[in-house]
Structure 1
Amino acid sequence: MTEHVQVVDGASPNEVQDPRTRFEIKRATVWLGLACAIALVVLLIQPLLLIFAALVFASMLDGGVRLLNRILPIGRGWRLLIVVLLVIAFIVGTFYIAGVQLIEQATQLRSTLEVQVQRGAQWLSAQGMMPGTSDLNGMLRQAMGSVGRVTSFLGTAASALTSFFMILVLGLFLAMEPNIYERGLQWMVPVDKRREFAITLRRMGETLRKLLAGRLLGMVAEGIITWIALMIAGVPMAAILGILTGLLAFIPNIGAFISGALMVAVGFSAGYDTGIAAIIVYVVVQTFDGYILLPIVARKTVDLPPALTLGAQILTSALFGIMGLALADPMTAMIKVALERRSEAAAEEMDAEELVA
C-alpha cells in the first residue's frame, strides 16, 4: 500500500545546487585537509623521525641479509638472525676487549676538552675578541637555560635509550618481512598509480642500501685509520678518538669538522709537537677519505653533491635537531630518487603520447 504524502518543493537551506559553489567547496576542503595534514606532521615530527630511523636501520639489516645470501643461500629469517648475532657479537666483543680503556679515555677526554675550551676562551678574552670570564659564564648559563626549555624528548638519557630501543625493535620487525609492509603501502595508493609507486619504492630501497653500505664502509675505514695514525703520532686517547671519528663519519662534512676539532684539542693538550702531529693526521685522513675512499665508494653507491648534502644537513638540524642532522643524507637521497623517477615517468608519458599521435 502506497502512502500519499505531500512533499515540499525547492532546495533546502543546507543543500548547494550551484555547480560552481560545489566545486569551490570541494577545492576548499582539499586545501583545508592539506593544511590539517601538514599540522599533523608538524605535531608528530618526532615519532615520524623515529619511524624513519627504524627504516634506515632496517635497510642496514636488509643489506646484510642480501649480502649474506650470496655466500649462504638459506632462509631469510635465518640470515637475518645471523646478521643480528654478528652485530651483537661485534659490539659486545669490542666493549669486552677495550671497555675499561674506552671508559677511562672517555672520562679523560671530557676533562681535557673542558680545560682546552677554558684556555681558548681565556686567550680570546685577553685578545679582546670575547667577553670576560664572568660575562661568558653568565652567557653560558643563560644559553643552557634556553636550551633546557626547548630540549625535545630526546634530551634526557632515559628517553634517548627508549627511543633507541624503539628504533631497534621497529627496524627488526621491518627487516623480518619487508614485503608485507611494501604491499600495505601499495594498497593505500590508487590502482592506476601502484606500478609507478612500486618502481619508486624499489629504487628508494636500493639507493638507501647503497648509501648506508658506503657510509658504513667509510666509517670503519676512517675510524681504524685514525686510531692507528694517532697511536703512531703519540696522541693521547687514540682509541676513543678513532671510535668517535668513525661514528661521526656517518654525518659527512660536519662530522669531519667535529672529529678534527677533538683531535687537535687533545693533541695540543699533550704538547705543541703532539698538536701539530694531530693536525697532520687529520689532514692525511681527510685527504685519503675525500680523494681516494669516497670516489671509490661513490661509484658503487649514491653520489650526492657536497653542497646539497651540507644544505640538507643545515636545514634538517635547524628543524629537527641532532636526529634530523644524522638522517639528513638518507632523506636527501630518497627525495632525490623520487624526483628523478617522477621526471623519468613524465618523459615516458610524453614519448607515449608522441607515438600515439
Structure 2
Amino acid sequence: MSDEQLQVVEGASPNEVRDPATRREIKRAAVWLGMASAIAVVVLLIQPLLIIFAGLVFASLLDGGVRLIGRVLPIGRAWRLLIVCLLTIAFLVGTFYLTGVQVAEQIGQLRSTLEGQTVRLTSWLTSQGLMPGASDISGVARQALSSVGRLTSWVGSAFGALTTMFMIVVIGLFVAMDPRVYDRGLQWMIPEDSRQEFALTTQRMGHTLRRLMFGRIVGMVAEGVLTWFALMLGGVPMAMILGILTGILAFIPNIGAFVSGALMVAVGFSSGVDTGLWAIGTYLIVQTFDGYVLIPMVAKRTVDMPPALTLGTQILASALFGIMGLALADPMTAMLKTAMERRSEIEEEERDDDGEGSAGKARA
C-alpha cells in the first residue's frame, strides 16, 4: 500500500488574526480577563485561603520556637519541633487541669452577669430617651446580625470552629516540619530571573512574621497575668476568666483591648461601685504599662507598624472577611509592609545605579 501524498489547505483561517494591533489588543484583553478571573476565584475561595494563611501564621509560631530551642540544643529540627509541641500540649493540659473547674464556673457567671448588666444599661438608656424601646432594639439587633454576611456565617457553629482550628493546626505542623520544601515549590513557580529576589523577599516576610508573633505572645501573657492579679487583689469577681479573656483578646490590638476593658468594667460594677472603679483603674494601668513600657520594648525587636494603619486594616479585614480577617489583619499588614519596603529598596538601588551610570558617562 503506497503512502498518500500529504495535502495542506492553504489560506488564512477564519479565527487567525494577522493584524499586529489587533493581536496586541487581544493580549491586553486576555490579561485583564485573567486578572478578573483570579479576583473572582479569590473571592469564592476566601474561606479556605484564610485558613491556609492562618496555618502559615501558626507555622511561624512553631518555627520561632524551633529556632529558639536550636540556640540551646544542637539537635535535629524534627526533635526540636517535637519538644515545642510537647511543651505546648503540657502547658494547655496543665492549665485546664488546674483551673478547668473554676474557669467553667466563671464562664457561666460571666454570661449571666453580662446579660444582667446589658439589661440594666439598656433600661437606663431607654428611660433617658437615648435608646429605642425593647421591640425596636430586637429589630435593630436582627438587622445588625443579618448584615454580617455569608463570609462569617460558618464561624457561628462549634463544629465549624473546631474543624477550622484542626485544619489550621495540621497545616501549621506540616509546614513547620520542613518549610524548605514549600519554599522550593514556590520558587519553582516563579520565573528564573526573579527567583533570587522572590527568595529574599519571602525570607524577610517570614522573619517579620516570626517577630510579630513573638511580640504578640509576650503581650498576651503579660496582659493576662497582670489583669488576673490586679483584679484578684481588688476583689473583682471572675478575675481568672477575665485575665484569660484579656490575654486572648490581646492578640487583636486596639479592638481587643477595648472589648476586654468593657468586660472588666461590666463585671466590676456588678459587685458595686468600688469594684467597678477598681476594674477601671486596673484597665487603665494595664493598658498604660502595655502601651508605654511593654510594647515599645518589644517593638525594638519586632515589627514597627503605626497604630492608625493597624486599626484601619483591622476594620477593613473584619468588614470583608469577618472574625478570621480581624484576627489575621496584623500578620497580613506586616507581610505586605515588608514586601512593599523591599520593592522600594529595589527602586532606590535602580535609581542609584542609573545615577552612577549617568555620572560615569558625564565624566567620560
TM-score (norm 1): 0.96
Q: Please list the CA deviations of residues 23-55 of structure 1 after superposition, one character each: whole Å capped at 9, or x if unmatched.
A: 111111111011000000000001000000000
Task: Provide closer, same or farther for how the CA distance between residues 306 and 146 of structure 1 changes in structure 2, counting only shifts above 3 A.
Answer: closer
Q: Summarize the alignment of residues 8-87 of structure 1 with structure 2, pairs less than 5 Å apart.
A: 9-87=10-88
**C-alpha distance 16-285 of structure 1, shift in aligned 2 (>3 A):** same
Is contact 2:205–2:338 with CA below 8 Å preserved after alignment? yes
- Give the letter for the 1:284 counterpart: I
Deviation string 1:43-72 (CA, Å, 9 cap, x unpaired) is 000100000000000000000000001111
Give the Cα separation in 2 of the matches to 1:169 and 1:5. 59
Change (3 A) 1:350 1:27: same
Deviation at 1:155, TM superposition (A): 2.0
Q: Distance in 1 between matches of 2:146 and 2:34?
A: 38
Amino acid at match of 2:65: G
Corresponding residue number in structure 1 for 2:339:
338
In 2, the alpha carbon distance for the partners of 1:163 and 1:74 equals 32
Q: Which residue of 2 aligns with 1:312?
A: 313
* Runs of 5+ unmatched residues, structure 1: none
Q: Distance in 1 between matches of 2:86 and 2:95?
A: 14
Q: Distance between the aligned counterparts of 1:147 and 1:185, measured in 2? A: 35
CA distance in structure 1 between the partners assigned to 2:7 and 2:64 by the alignment:
72
1:285-300 to 2 correspondences below 5 Å: 285-300=286-301
Unaligned runs of 5+ in 2: 359-364
- The TM-score with structure 2 as length reference comes to 0.95
The whole-number CA distance in structure 1 between the counterparts of 2:78 and 2:135 is: 60
Alignment match, 1:102: 103
- Displacement of 1:324 in angstroms is 0.2
Helix, strand or coil: the match of 2:156?
A: coil
The alpha-carbon distance between structure 1 residues 13 and 240, as it changes in their structure 2 partners (threshold 3 A), is same
Deviation at 1:8, TM superposition (A): 5.3
User: How many pairs are equivalent?
Assistant: 357
Distance 1:285 1:213 in 2: 19
Aligned-residue offset at 1:208: 0.2
1:203 aligned partner = 204
Distance 1:7 1:140 in 2: 73
Counterpart mapping for 1:182-261 below 5 A: 182-261=183-262
Distance 1:100 1:16, change over 3 A: same
Deviation per residue, 1:159-204 (Å, 9 max, x gap): 1100000000010000000000001001100000001100100000
Identify the residue that residue 182 of structure 2 maps to in structure 1: 181
Question: Distance between the aligned counterparts of 1:214 and 1:137, measured in 2?
Answer: 41
Letter in 2 for 1:322: I
Residue 138 of structure 1 and its aligned partner are, at CA, apart by 3.8
Q: Which residues of 2 match residues 255-270 of structure 1 at below 5 A?
A: 255-270=256-271
CA 1:32–1:141: 2 relative to 1, 3 Å: closer
2:137 paired residue number: 136
Are residues 5 and 260 of structure 1, via their aligned partners in 2, closer, same or farther at CA, if it must alter by over 3 Å?
closer
Please tell me whether the aligned partners of residues 225 and 243 of structure 2 are also in contact (alpha carbons under 8 angstroms).
yes
